Chains A and B, each alone.
Chain A
Amino acid sequence: MSTVTADPAPSSTRPGRSARPPRLRRSWDKHWYAWAMVLPVVIVLAVLIFYPLFRGIWLSFTNLTEANQVAEICTRSITGGEVCADNPNKWEFIGLDNYVRVLTGQVGEFWQWTGVTLIWTFVCVACHFGLGLGLASMLNRPMRARGLYRVLLVLPWAVPAFVSAFAWKFIFNERFGLANALLTAVGIDPVSWFADRWTALFTAIVTNVWLGVPFMMVALLGGMQTIPSELYEAAEIDGASAWQRFRNITLPGLRPVSMTVVLLGTIWTFNMFPIIFLVTEGQPAGQSEILVTGAYRAAFEGIRNYSLASTYGVLILSILLVFSLFYRRVLRKQGEVW
């Protein structure tokens, strides 16, 4: 996993100077600028993400919480003086207990949350990509008012996400919301959106799709610019239909970009905290909770349970890692490598 740190060239050339240095030196000479280009990013990520991440993995094997994390609890008195007492139940290594407790359902609703998360992720990403691709290919054509359409369609991205979440929550309000007003206007009974898990999840998905399509659209629009127009020209001369051109030129040309946005989109959506947290609040009765929001409520309400939170974090990480490796394999079979 280490990248730049794996480059031992400058320091280790000195002591040996036997058979190996020339190769290392050559490697250094050849690659130093590549390493130099990635170094700043790697340092920032190592400090801010990887240190907490590895610490999190370690914590998931302990029972550390906010209350037992220090060896002794000190009470300062306002009149001066500090009394320190040994923490009677200091944290300890507990092996796989956290995982057992989470996976067997003793704590939280891991399997239910995972199920909801998978549905949520799949539907959201599919809609993001489908709608984003459709809109991008329309907006990629020259036409009147193209700039205006582009700006209007991208606006949902420009509003701070939590404000949009409130807006959608208002729209789906069971008594005062626009959604039920429209349904009533066309003669359908109003829906108690948040009384049922599927309708509740539906409101969150609508919100998230609305929020996420502009990003997808812009990314794909950017990707379409790298497809040379000569290809389309040649295809038209050959008499290819619009669909054939889309299928055989646009889609393959978008592959590097769409591969990236689908992969990262999946990861982000899987961990998309604010929408569920704000729009459905997990209602009804926690049934529309996804893994991150469920883990947050389980571990961070009241005394914060860092080891439990880390356990969920590691489980989420594992699921996504498996997904990414699988995704890479599928792509590799089709000739893409990263």
Chain B
Amino acid sequence: MRRTARGIAVLASAALALSVAACGGEDKAPEGQPAVDPASLTAELTWWDTSDPQNEGPAFKELIAKFNQTYPNVKINYQSVPFGEAQNKFKTAAQAKTGAPDILRAEVAWVPEFASLGYLYALDGSELLADAADFLETPLASNTYDGKTYGVPQVTDSLALMYNKELLSKAGIGEAPKTWAELKTAAQTVKEKTDAEGVYLNPAGYFLLPFMYGEGGDLVDTGSQKIVVNSEQNAAGLKIAKDLIDSGAAAKPSANDSYGTMMTLFKEQKVAMIINGPWEVNNVSSAPDFGGLENLGIAPVPAGSARAGGPVGGHNYVIWSGMPQEKVDAAVAFVKFMSSAESQAFLSDKLGLLPTRTSAYQVDSVKNNAVVAAFQAVNEAAVGRPWIPEAGQFFGPLDQMATEVMVQNRDPKASLDAVAKKYKAEVVPGYGL
């Protein structure tokens, strides 16, 4: 019974596709003008926002209000869902075909995974991708799976070196370190000349990627389908990180709650440098003991022997494939509005988020935003991650490795070999070692 129903659906949609193809192109609306009267669009859409409800949520709600000025009859049910649980919650609901949101703010690594499971609408051919060239290449790449595009980038980010300007200048350091070797010297100088520690490294897989990328390493090679996580480059990168701790340049990290510890120390000026992303800028600059945005320096992560680069992160807008077809126009209108250059500039202005459109960087308020400017250099150096459905599973073993190497003093190569074995057994069995 399900099969016939599906057959009819396929037939119907094929007919639709035909009719679209027949009259495609010509009757497209002129630039900038919606094809239909915005007020005639009537729908109720649920949006799960995974952004920080405290700092970021209000700005998104403001945007929704703006959207409703143009589209008064599209009601957006805004629901904030904690980032940590959204992935499983969405999948559970989408699988049961009940209760998933029409639109989701998905982390970059989720999109290929959701797409491979058939949980998302492919957006090719819609207005959303009409000006795809305007999107920055790397963030847009995270939305493609199997030749189709399943989302549009909302925000991009990458890891940067964040430093306390006052502490560095107290230690007589003029500018941010550019290589890991310089970072080590700088950290040791800070430790000698001030009460603060030099640098705090979060012993987690994601936060160690700059060390591995710096030596030219990566996790897997999707082109040749090879697991390369246990390469000599990665081992060399981890040795650099480990040496920072062993030499005392970096503070001894805790195995647990190290992220929180890192942030508390940095905000209280107890450590001069950390590696973290733009999402913490507000938090740091508003901490009462830090000294505001003026005291916060942002620079690209230091380089290793091969290059300097952090992993690309960020979030995308995706549309649940279980959303009824009749809501498509409204959903497209909403996502289009939210990802427009003006909206991105608005968010950038309010929250310091990094736009994903080239045109958004031309807007004056974005151009003059110091944080955005600082992170633009960071993002240009960012390294794309392997955008495959299994990508979400890479970090469990990597985190374990990070603790072993950074806290328990285990040999990097041995630990990486164990990670490679796990990738082969549990994550990408089809890949070569």
Contacts and interface: CB of A to CB of B under 8 A. Distances in A.
B408 A195 contact: yes
Interface stretch (A27-35, A67-75, A155-163): A67-75
Nearest to A281: B256
A304 B390 CA distance: 10
17 contacts: A67-B117, A73-B117, A75-B148, A76-B321, A77-B17, A77-B125, A78-B328, A79-B17, A80-B328, A81-B16, A81-B17, A84-B10, A173-B261, A176-B261, A192-B254, A298-B426, A302-B393
A82 B393 contact: no
B126 interface: yes
Contacts of B128: 78
B122 A75 contact: yes
Given A67-B116, A77-B122, A79-B17, A195 B264 contact: no
Given A285-B404, A304-B91, A82 B10 contact: yes
A303 B389 contact: yes
Given A75-B122, A79-B126, A284-B403, A302 B390 contact: yes
A82 B13 contact: yes
A92 interface: no
A146 B170 CA distance: 60
B396 interface: yes
B97 to A, nearest CB: 11
Nearest to B110: A302
A194 interface: yes
Contact of A79 (B125, B392, B426): B125
Contact of A80 (B16, B148, B257, B264): B16
A25 interface: no
Q: Which of A193, A195, A281 has the most CB of B within 10 A?
A: A195
Contacts of A192: 252, 254-255, 407
A26 to B, nearest CB: 46
Contact of A66 (B117, B254, B332): B117
B319 interface: yes
Contacts of B408: 195, 284-285
Given A78-B128, A78-B328, A175 B254 contact: yes
Q: Give the interface SS of chain B, mostly helix, strand, loop or mixed.
A: helix
Contacts of A7: none
B148 A284 contact: no
A338 to B, nearest CB: 36
A284 B16 CA distance: 56
Contacts of A194: 254-256
Interface string A133-149: 00000000000000000
Given A78-B122, A303-B113, 16 more contacts: A66-B95, A75-B321, A76-B122, A78-B125, A79-B17, A80-B13, A80-B16, A82-B10, A107-B426, A173-B261, A174-B261, A284-B255, A284-B404, A301-B396, A302-B427, A304-B91
Contacts of A77: 13, 17, 121-122, 124-125
A74 B17 contact: no
B88 A300 contact: yes
A328 interface: no
A225 B88 CA distance: 46
Interface of B: 6, 9-10, 13-14, 16-17, 20, 88, 91, 95, 113, 115-118, 121-126, 128, 148, 252, 254-257, 260-261, 264-265, 319, 321, 325, 328, 332, 389-393, 395-396, 400-401, 403-404, 407-408, 425-427
B390 to A, nearest CB: 6
B10 A78 contact: no
A169 interface: yes
Interface residues of A, number: 39
A302 B113 contact: yes
Contacts of B116: 67, 73
Contact of A78 (B88, B121, B260, B264): B121
B214 to A, nearest CB: 23
Contacts of A173: 254, 257, 260-261
Interface of A: 66-67, 70, 73-82, 84, 106-107, 169, 173-176, 192-195, 200, 280-281, 283-286, 297-298, 300-304
B401 to A, nearest CB: 8
Q: Which of A66, A70, A281, A300 has the most CB of B within 10 A?
A: A66
Contacts of B393: 301-303
Contacts of A66: 91, 95, 117
Given A66-B91, A80-B13, A303 B325 contact: no
A194 B257 CA distance: 10
Contacts of B392: 301-303
B329 to A, nearest CB: 10
A66 to B, nearest CB: 6
Given A283-B256, A284-B403, A285-B404, A81 B13 contact: yes
A195 B401 CA distance: 13
A297 B395 CA distance: 11
B121 A81 contact: no
A166 to B, nearest CB: 10
Given A66-B117, A106-B425, A107-B425, A82 B9 contact: yes
Contacts of A281: 256
A9 B118 CA distance: 49
A73 B118 contact: yes
Nearest to A298: B426
B396 to A, nearest CB: 5
Contacts of A78: 121-126, 128, 319, 328, 332
A193 B20 contact: no
Contacts of B264: 176
Contacts of B257: 169, 173
A193 B257 CA distance: 11
Contacts of B148: 75
Contacts of A174: 254, 256, 261
B245 to A, nearest CB: 12
A233 to B, nearest CB: 54
A138 to B, nearest CB: 35
Contacts of B389: 67, 303
Contacts of A195: 254-255, 407-408
A51 to B, nearest CB: 15
Contacts of B260: 173
A193 B256 CA distance: 9
A225 B345 CA distance: 69
Nearest to B254: A174
B400 A286 contact: yes
Contacts of B10: 82, 84
A139 B177 CA distance: 64
Contacts of A286: 400
Contact of B403 (A80, A81, A283): A283
A201 to B, nearest CB: 12
A91 B160 CA distance: 43
Nearest to B392: A302
Contacts of A176: 261, 264
